[in-house]
Structure 1
Amino acid sequence: MTDDVRDAAFYGRRKGKALRAGQADLIAGLLPTLALPLDRPAPEALADLFPHVPAEIRLEIGFGGGEHLVHRAGESPDVGFVGVEPFVNGMAKALAAVRARDLANVRVSDADAVKVLDWLPAASLDRVVLLYPDPWPKKRHFKRRFVGPDNLDRFARVLKPGGAFHFASDIDSYVDWTLFHVRRHPAFRWTATRPDDWRAPWAGWPGTRYEAKALREGRRGNYLSFERA
């Protein structure tokens, strides 16, 4: 895998409206407790990040306000969840939900997801999830789309054989882009066998606020699943 050289991040702004006092307290107090220790080498066993030994470990990149991450963590307490979100306001919202539900199986990072992927041990994840990422629709911004050969190499490195990459988007051009790149990558296999396999969300799908916005604006989500060879 070669280093990813780019002049801009895959995400947009890092902060929106000023945080309320309670949100600022979560960023100052709870975030350091749950944050991945990127300033030192990753543990040989990623399970050591959690108070129990997880049955599996999943990574969600760009979790927004944490709706999907928190829902999945609540329904599967035996699974370890790692969430990455550089947007401070989204992180504050997710931390509030993690605290309210007293979830012990969530770890987070506000760093660039590329840095997290490069930090993680090889073959340490059972699933990578990328839901409604910024589509960067202008051609000159295509290089900022998260799905590409370099990051697929990263996914291939951190996923266990038989692990999954889940991708959702309401932007047809990004769906086509993702299919093109992932199907060309030797480490991944698209698992769809019929149209409903990419038109219907995964089992237990709670929805996200980005999906809800797309539906209000007349766009339908697409849900792609790929297997790590």
Structure 2
Amino acid sequence: MTTALITGASAGIGTAFAQELAARKTDLVLVARSETKLQQLAQQLQDQYRIHADVIAQDLTAPSAAASVFDAVKQKGLNIDLLINNAGFGQYGAFVELDGAQQLQAIQLNILALVDLTHRFLPDMRQRGHGNIVNMASTAAFQPIPYFAIYAATKAFVLSFSEALWAENRRYGVRVLAVCPGPTDTEFFQEANFPSRLAKRAAQNYTSKEVVVKETLAALEKEASNIVPGAVSNQILANLSRFLPRDTVVNLIEPYFRKG
């Protein structure tokens, strides 16, 4: 039986990954801040699918978080066959007006924790000659987004980083996939404090988190380097900067995302 580690497993796409993988008889290591939510999810999946689910309660915005997660996995004697770096967050608003410490936390979670976890688990995968890493990016990775500047920039990093690792590790039997969802039926827009106007517009183009997960796992099997799951509108957004100058794209986006 294979084992998957999922960060941000207590809600949204992370929980959908856990549900789908458990249904496929994959053992799980569930990582998030809320131990209560993780324990409830682990118990549900173990009862329903007869798999084993371990829980690691860890705030990945802490500088030493990845080391703590890696050490906990090793203490449990587990090998991770599939690492899903799903945890992340963003905050809507003009960069100059947002809390600086919170923006640094977003960089810590979206980039540094992801890179650190990947660097710790990848060597074992290469040594065994097989493994899978899924890094959650976003359609925001394909162009700058005013009033969502840090989030879009971190996801651009995730996309570029993942594609580079895909090329580096294919011959070692390790598959790396960047996933770039558009608007998805989670609490993301509410938690990011998007204006209701933008949140409602995004909801009109939602892709279900279950579709995101299933299309991701299918793309992983095909050894793709990246995937933009869901609606055709996501593909249009992802490819917009290929056909227009970058300054034109960002000038078109700015009024759309501007508050008021």
TM-score where L is the length of structure 1: 0.51
Q: How does 1:89-168 map to 2 (within 5 A)?
A: 89-95=36-42, 97-98=44-45, 100-101=47-48, 103-113=50-60, 114=65, 115-121=68-74, 124-131=79-86, 133-136=88-91, 138=98, 140=100, 141-145=102-106, 146-149=109-112, 151-159=114-122, 160-161=125-126, 163-167=132-136
Instruction: Quote how far apart the aligned CAs of 1:108 are.
Output: 1.2
- The CA distance in 1 between the partners of 2:59 and 2:22, in whole Å, is 25
* Residue matched to 2:180: 198
Q: Which runs of 5+ in 1 are unaligned?
A: 1-53, 202-206
Instruction: Quote how far apart the aligned CAs of 1:85 are.
Output: 2.0
- The CA distance in 2 between the partners of 1:178 and 1:57, in whole Å, is 26
Q: How does 1:25-40 map to 2 (within 5 A)?
A: none
SS in 1 for 2:166: strand
Q: Which runs of 5+ in 2 are unaligned?
A: 93-97, 168-175, 192-197, 226-260
Higher RCO by CA contacts (8 Å cutoff, separation 6 or greater):
1
Distance 1:180 1:139, change over 3 A: farther
Q: Is the 8 A contact 1:132 1:168 kept in 2?
A: no
Number of aligned pairs? 163
* Residue matched to 1:6: none
Deviations 1:133-176 (A, max 9, x none): 22255461232121224640331221324522231558664243
Between Structure 1 and Structure 2, the one with more helix by share is: 2
- The CA distance in 1 between the partners of 2:158 and 2:87, in whole Å, is 17
| RMSD (CA atoms) | 4.4
TM-score where L is the length of structure 2: 0.46
* Residue matched to 2:165: 188
Q: Is the 8 A contact 2:42 2:54 kept in 1?
A: no
Q: Which has the larger radius of gyration?
A: 2
- The CA distance in 2 between the partners of 1:129 and 1:147, in whole Å, is 13
Q: Is the 8 A contact 1:60 1:81 kept in 2?
A: yes
Q: Is the 8 A contact 1:70 1:97 kept in 2?
A: no
Q: Which amino acid aligns with 1:163?
A: N
Q: Is the 8 A contact 1:60 1:129 kept in 2?
A: yes
Distance 1:100 1:59, change over 3 A: same
Instruction: Quote how far apart the aligned CAs of 1:95 are.
Output: 4.0
Between Structure 1 and Structure 2, the one with more strand by share is: 1
SS in 1 for 2:187: helix
